Amino acid sequence: MKQVLRIAITGNVDDGKSTLIGRLLYETKSLPADKVEDLIRVSKRRGFDSPDFSLLTDGLLAEREQGITIDVAHVYFQTPQRKFIVADTPGHEQYTRNMVTGASTSNVALILIDARNGSLLQTYRHFFISHILRLSTVFVCVNKMDLVDYSETRFGEIVDSLFSFAQRLGFPSEKLIFVPLSASLGDNITTISQNMSWYKGKPILELLETLDIESSRNAQLFRFQVQHVLRSKLPEYHDYRGYAGKIASGKISVGDAVTILPSQFTTNISGIDFAGTEVQSAQAGESVSIRLEKDLDLSRGDMIVKENDLPTISRTVEARVCWLNERPAKLRSRYLLQHGVRRILAKIDQVKSVIHPELLEEKQDSESLSLNDIGDTIITTATELFYDPYEKNKSTGAFILIDESTNDTVAVGVII
């Protein structure tokens, strides 16, 4: 089975995100013939001499009219080496929330920069969010190199400025890769460009094909949130009670000793069912039904963990949040905190600091968070939360905040 690499492509408006995705689809022959013909026909009607690849992903009418990406468009393609799921995320500041959504489920980020403009505030914000979400690798694609005469000097200036920022942020230098390219003309997309002989690296597709994808979730502590309690109405299975859900991290086997949260009762795994078949073990990413030796009262949102590997259990958490709503955060106002399948009441007790995404300066003890603000907070929940720091376990260290009255998602947070 081919490995799957999840990619978030982001950057400022008009930096060429959709064009890069369209070019990758075209170069990997992932488009049917009629789609290519339609692309060429529409591009000519708009006055372009060559295909406008951005039309392949900018599907919303509003996007076509404005020439910007608003929604998160997911695109799928594959090469002989690997499968790819690409999230084309918005660049406009107004839609930063959509960028966060796309990046939260990705392994790596591709941040595009217009070679003419260099790094802008939104560039630093996207890099900062990628760092907060612990994306394993960030590719900085300096696009539109053809519009600066393929200047090595200009490329070096952009590399120096963003590399310095990454160092101040503490982002690992070996996980930061710079590539000069022209998405519209195909330079350094699937083959090395003859226009930039000074570039000694690989084309972007080859870098994505050969990137090492860590399977670290299997090595993490076992975490399983109950989504549904299964009971059978068939006479031959009248005693069946299974706890269905998706294994967030770690491995589990029949006979393992486990602890149930919040009750903290202990028991052993008596059986594991996967895709209608009884199995002896299961691992992260698999949706299974777990059976227990003891007849315990579990419900949706309860967590099963291994007996000696408990998460932190607390009603108070310190979290870094990105505020996504036009209405500012209000201290001590009630929100719904969604943690996995659990939804509990919570309030923001304190905004310890608000961090400027470019200068990395912190404004201490703010009274609120405004749209796109990134801040460190203290949050109190109505009932105990079972969590791990996000750095150690993404699945149990992340959450969203929901406005009770509107049901809008107002913030995404990671537990520090």
pLDDT in tens, 117-133: 999 988 998 899 999 98
26-35, 230-239, 306-315: segment of lowest average pLDDT: 230-239
Task: Read off the DSSP letter of residue 280.
Answer: S
Average pLDDT on 253-263 reads: 97
Average pLDDT on 159-181 reads: 94
Pairing status of strand 108-114 against strand 137-143: parallel
Percent of the chain exceeding pLDDT 70 equals 92
- As a residue count, the chain comes to 416
Pairing status of strand 4-11 against strand 251-253: unpaired
Residue listed under structure tokens 């997309």: 189
Nearest CA to 355 out of 341, 339, 372 is that of: 372
**Between 169 and 234, where is the model more confident?**
169
* Start-to-end CA span in the chain (Å): 35
pTM of the model: 0.81
Q: In this predicted structure, what is the pLDDT of residue 88? A: 80
User: Domain 218-306 adopts which CATH fold?
Assistant: Elongation Factor Tu (Ef-tu); domain 3 (2.40.30)
CATH numeric code, 4-214: 3.40.50.300
Task: Point out which residues pair with 317 in neighbouring strands.
Answer: 379
pLDDT at position 398 over 80: yes
Contact between 84 and 9 under an 8 Å Cβ cutoff? The reply is no
Average pLDDT on 310-320 reads: 97
12-16, 66-70, 251-255: segment of lowest average pLDDT: 66-70
How would you write 284-351 as a 3-class SS string? CCCEEEEEECCCCCCCCCCEEEECCCCCEEEEEEEEEEEECCCCCCCCCCEEEEEECCEEEEEEEEEE
Q: In this predicted structure, what is the pLDDT of residue 60? A: 38
180-189, 193-202, 247-256, 354-363: segment of lowest average pLDDT: 354-363
Same fold for the pair 4-214 and 312-415: no
Pairing status of strand 374-387 against strand 398-403: unpaired
- Alpha carbons 357 and 102: distance in angstroms, whole number: 19
Instruction: Give the distance from CA 228 to its chain's centroid.
Output: 25
Task: Locate the domains of the chain by residue range.
Answer: 4-214, 218-306, 312-415
Q: Which CATH number is 312-415's, of 3.10.420.10, 2.30.40.10, 2.40.30.10, 3.40.50.2000?
A: 2.40.30.10
